[in-house]
Amino acid sequence: MKEKGRFLKKYRGNECLNCGVPLDIIDRYCHNCGQINTIKKLSFKDFFNEFFASIFSYDSRLRHTVVGLLFKPGMISKDYIEGKRIKYANPFRFFLSVSILFFIINGLFIDFDQMALQFNSGQKLAAEDSKRTKAGVIEINTSSSDSSKTTKNSSEQIYFTEAQLDTMSMFTAINKRWKTYKSHYKKTEEVLPSVALDSLKHKQNTYTRYLYTRSIKTKNLNDNPMELLIFVFNKLPFIIFFFLPFFALIMWLLYIRKPFNYMEHLVFIFHTQTMFFILIGIAVLIDQITKSEVTSSIAMLVFLFYLYKAMRKFYQQGRAKTIVKFLLVNVLFFILAGIGSVITIVGSMFIF
């Protein structure tokens, strides 16, 4: 590599400016802490030269990783667990980087505003249908007393005192307290938990304030569930990142007789899922250009074939056994994905 800027020999010192370890003029970096051996003051030009050099230096590992993932299914994972790691990007960090980039690019093509508009239009039509239905019922039941009862019931506020809640079981009390808070917010639109709880004469603590805040959020989500969808979508890279270790556990159980530990299965999972995002990401871009969804469908089929080849290469089993385990893996994946989706949505409602 051609030396320039702060790397020139004339700028090298006799000791590391960072840790003080003695150095020789041939040392480009400190062998103790890794810092550049230079006494030259940092200039604007040097700063940007080193910035772009670090990008292209990482690009070397990035190139080996991407090429290996694309054209040698399972090979990178096999190399990595055998200790051949210097030329490849870290599988965990690389997966997270690719997945975040995928969701950023994909998010550019998802029109949440249009989806919200369509949802609100659907709600408006449903409300109009409901009004017409109620109008028909009112025409049939013209009794003024019945009408007044209906009005009274619809405006009735749900309220349970603290003393009443204390006599209930834990889950019943949570349910009644939740309904009380939702009813109070619906009537008063009070957003401050302390003010609302004081008005209701309920306990003022972290739990009750949290529950009141969540009841408001839930009410708002009922009116505009797109907010929850956007929230979950933005968190998907991290959700999937923490979801994959459970999938690796399934792989460990399926190949329990193979000499792989859990972390080696996890390396394989992160590599294959990174490939999934690369393929689908490229397909999404092509579909946006061609205004079709054909490429995405083809990419899914390509990935399934890729996964089969990767499993054969990495686990070194015959065709028949690999096909059986491949089918089982996909069934278990969709079951686990379904459970994970439910947990994610429910959990998001409590942290949104």
pLDDT in tens, 238-257: 677 778 888 889 899 989 98
Task: Check residue 12 and give left, alpha or beta (phi > 0: left; psi -120 to 50: alpha).
Answer: beta
First to last CA, the chain: 51
What is the value of pTM for the model shown? 0.60
pLDDT in tens, 292-324: 878 888 998 999 999 999 999 999 999 999 999
Say how far residue 116 (Cα) sits from the centre of its chain: 21
Main-chain dihedrals φ then ψ at residue 169, nearest 5 degrees: -70, 165
Q: In this predicted structure, what is the pLDDT of residue 139?
A: 53
Per the model's pLDDT, the better-predicted residue between 57 and 197 turns out to be 197
Question: Using CA of residue 281, residue 287, residue 290, residue 295, what is the dihedral sign?
Answer: positive
Cα–Cα dist 215/174, whole Å: 11
Q: In this predicted structure, what is the pLDDT of residue 111?
A: 53
Q: In this predicted structure, what is the pLDDT of residue 270?
A: 92
Query: What average pLDDT is seen over the chain?
Result: 78
- Confidence band of 271 (pLDDT split at 50, 70, 90): very high
Half-sphere exposure of 3 (CA within 13 A, CB side): 14
Exposed / middle / buried, residue 67 (Cβ in 10 Å: 0-12, 13-18, 19+): exposed
Q: At what angle do helices 226-254 and 112-140 cross, to 10 degrees?
A: 110
pLDDT at 55 over 80: no
Candidates 180, 183, 188, 191; CA nearest to 217 is 191
pLDDT in tens, 2-15: 566 677 788 888 88
Say how far residue 183 (Cα) sits from the centre of its chain: 33
- Confidence band of 144 (pLDDT split at 50, 70, 90): very low
Average pLDDT of the segment spanning 130-145: 52
Give the alpha-carbon dihedral of 63, 69, 73, 78, to 10 degrees.
70
Q: In this predicted structure, what is the pLDDT of residue 339?
A: 79
Q: In this predicted structure, what is the pLDDT of residue 148?
A: 43
pLDDT in tens, 198-239: 888 998 888 888 888 877 776 655 555 555 555 555 566 667
Q: In this predicted structure, what is the pLDDT of residue 53?
A: 58
Q: In this predicted structure, what is the pLDDT of residue 152?
A: 42
Average pLDDT of the segment spanning 341-345: 70
Percent of the chain with pLDDT over 70: 70
Enter the tokens of residue 120.
Answer: 């609100």
pLDDT in tens, 180-189: 888 888 888 8
Cα–Cα dist 105/87, whole Å: 27
Q: In this predicted structure, what is the pLDDT of residue 190?
A: 85
Cα–Cα dist 165/147, whole Å: 33
Amino acid at 75: M
pLDDT at 149 over 70: no
pLDDT at 43 over 90: no
